[in-house]
Structure 1
Amino acid sequence: MDPLGSFRFRVEIDGLVVGGFSEVTGLQLETEVETYREGGANAFAYKLPKTTSSPNLVLKRGMTYSDLLWRWYRGVVGGSIERRSGSVILLDEDGWEAWRWNFVGAYPVKWIGPELRGDQSQLAFETIELAHHGLLAE
């Protein structure tokens, strides 16, 4: 079986496909550790887990016919923080779902506009960045 390509994916928010993107970054988690040295045990130190965090998800070079993401971001600008859940879905070569990263409690924190081109009819945007409470891979 061929490895899955990183260029076939879609993004869903609240179960609805919201657009196609050519790049998604921020699919990572990191657990902070605290080093604890026990008295008399000089050969090693315990590493105890603390909090787990993840960076913002950055969806780049997106194309969509929907204005859902724009309205969601405009709500944040206007002071209405509506947290939503969603997924980044990796597709296999036949277009079937191969892997899914779910994110929870997300809201947009940054919007970068499109390069406008007369030969495209889609509602285009360049980048949207989402703060969230964490990831769960399925």
Structure 2
Amino acid sequence: MPDRHGPYRNSRYLLEIDDTIQAGFSEATIPSNSTEPTEYREGNESPTVRKLWSLNTFENLTLQWGTTDDSMAIFEWRKMVEQGQVDDARRDIAVIVLDEEGQPGPRWNFVRAWPVNYDAPDLNATDSQVAIESIEIAHEGMERVE
């Protein structure tokens, strides 16, 4: 049994799209989120502004994976957006961290996600690196759950 007194490793994770597991990603960049402060002061208050909360913003999720013959599902998802089918392309997705035994651990859920950018691999005949594809995914909210 893994030692759960320590942190999870960052090298084992899955992507879940509408309850379908996609594996084989070499890198997943979990985005940050923030709340924009708004400054406010009334004329009869001391000359110090108050900070009020405003809009919540969520950066995009980025995934990278090695190109294979069977890696078309995410590219096809992006193609829906290119064809103007953004509402049909929106999915609830999750990035799930796995423990040392491959069991699910913490997860980040992303609401109404859709791919905004696809980057094909750079090819170079004098290099021996793996061909890497990447996708950037916009979403309307993120939640960390266990």
Shorter-chain TM-score tier? 0.7 to 0.9
Listed one character per residue, the Cα deviations across residues 17-45 of structure 1 (whole Å, up to 9, x for unaligned) are 12321221242211001122344543753
2:91 to 84, 87, 98: 84
Q: Counterpart of 1:69 in structure 2: which amino acid? A: I
Length, aligned pairs only = 132
1:75 matched to which residue of 2? 80
Q: For residue 62 of structure 1, report the CA deviation from its aligned partner.
A: 4.7
Q: For residue 66 of structure 1, report the CA deviation from its aligned partner.
A: 4.7
SS at match of 1:128: strand
Q: Which has the higher strand share?
A: 1
Q: Counterpart of 2:109 in structure 1: which amino acid? A: N
Q: Counterpart of 1:126 in structure 2: which amino acid? A: E
1:114 to 112, 115, 121: 121
Q: Is the 8 A contact 2:13 2:23 kept in 1?
A: no
- Asked whether 1:132 is paired with 2:134, we answer no
TM-score, normalising length: structure 2: 0.78
Q: Which runs of 5+ in 2 are unaligned?
A: 124-130
SS at match of 1:27: coil
In 2, the alpha carbon distance for the partners of 1:125 and 1:78 equals 24
SS at match of 2:23: strand
- Asked whether 1:16 is paired with 2:20, we answer yes
1:120 matched to which residue of 2? none
2:60 matched to which residue of 1? 56
Q: Counterpart of 2:54 in structure 1: which amino acid? A: K
SS at match of 2:9: coil
CA separation of 1:75 and 1:26: change in aligned 2, threshold 3 A: same
2:8 matched to which residue of 1? 4
